[in-house]
A and B are shown apart, each in its own frame.
Chain A
Amino acid sequence: MDSFLKTLQKKARENLISWSDQQLIAQEFQLTLAEAEEEILQAGFLPTRYQRNQQMISTRQQLHLFQSRVAVIGCGGLGGYILEELARLGIGQIIAIDPDVFEESNLNRQLLSTMSSLGRPKVEVAKQRLNDINPAIRVTAMATAFTKDTGQSLLASADLVVDAVDSIATRLELAAVCNHMKIPLIHGAIAGWFGQVATIAPGEETLQRLYANWHHGKGVESQLGNPSFTPAVAASLQVAEVCKLLLKQGTPVSRKMLTINLLTMQFDEIPLP
């Protein structure tokens, strides 16, 4: 590994390794791009793509994010922004789960929906997008619905799960599976100008409380729809929670719900002990 270190020292500019050098290093040392990125971080060097992260995320923390595995359930309104931000944050392993294809009515808000992606499976488009952002990210794309029966195998080895589904029934199943597998769940849901975010540690029953009065069907989003900006806000808050939880920093929205009203610009924390 001495020659690996020497190569990094030779190529680094102020500790930064450019993408072209990362590719050359991968080739020279017969590593995949993912392995090269991990080795570079392990050696204390930073891929240049993370240069603007480094004032708030150390190289050691960047390595931890790259070694983390985050599952995103749903690749629509919330999911599109969540996947984009996880990739740019530097999460090294991302599992994207969604059974649907893109439709015209997704174009008003779903980041991954474009004219060229209409009719294509959402997870396939997600994988291509993440690969365009960083080919070193290992993306597992599963074009399947999350259910309590498929859940355990879909979430195997995930460090964290992000809720971006559009059904309350599926959310409750997701919460039960995460609790059983002892995986923290970052909940987000939206309707019109409104949204909510909560971080749920194993053993907490936040979602069961939030939806205790639910019997069947959808929430108020069926009347309010969803505009372009609400998913972006809620998704960004969810990714901030992912970052904090993985890096063990700050204070998560735990045992409470953050409720978002973009019409009045009110953010309220509601205790859910």
Chain B
Amino acid sequence: MQITVKLFASFQTGRFQCDVRSYPESTLVSHILQELAIPESEVGIILLNMIHAKSDQSLAEGDILAIFPLVGGG
């Protein structure tokens, strides 16, 4: 299935901004985080089709996944 993955802020560094990628059926958000070597501890928010999602959610054909890092400096 085709998933559009959008990365924000520091997650783009060494990866990409937006990419349409192929994954097997029943892929979870956490599988994509692992594939992209994004530690879950660094993840702030995950939006699946613009709605808040958790890393154990499964994906469906055509989904748009956006991943933001935790930003906390002041």
Contact = CB atoms under 8 A, between A and B. Distances in A.
Contacts of B71: 189-191, 194-196, 219-221
A159 to B, nearest CB: 21
Interface residues of A, number: 45
A168 B24 CA distance: 36
A165 interface: yes
A5 interface: no
A90 interface: no
A92 interface: no
Contacts of B74: 74, 76-79, 163-167, 188-190, 231
Interface string B14-52: 000100000000000000000000001111111100101
Interface stretch (A13-21, A38-46, A148-156, A264-272): A264-272
Nearest to B8: A259
A191 B8 contact: no
Interface size class of B (residues with CB under 8 A): 20 to 34
B37 to A, nearest CB: 14
Given A190-B73, A194-B71, A212-B52, A220 B45 contact: no
B20 to A, nearest CB: 19
Q: Is the interface of B mostly helix, strand, loop or mixed?
A: mixed
B1 interface: no
A167 B72 CA distance: 6
Contact of A189 (B52, B55, B72): B72
B14 to A, nearest CB: 12
A271 B41 CA distance: 22
Interface of A: 74, 76-79, 163-168, 171, 188-196, 209-215, 217-221, 223-224, 226, 231, 259, 261, 263-264, 268, 270-272
22 contacts: A74-B74, A77-B73, A79-B74, A166-B72, A191-B72, A209-B45, A211-B44, A213-B55, A214-B44, A214-B72, A218-B73, A219-B44, A219-B72, A220-B10, A220-B69, A221-B72, A224-B10, A226-B73, A264-B12, A264-B17, A271-B50, A272-B52
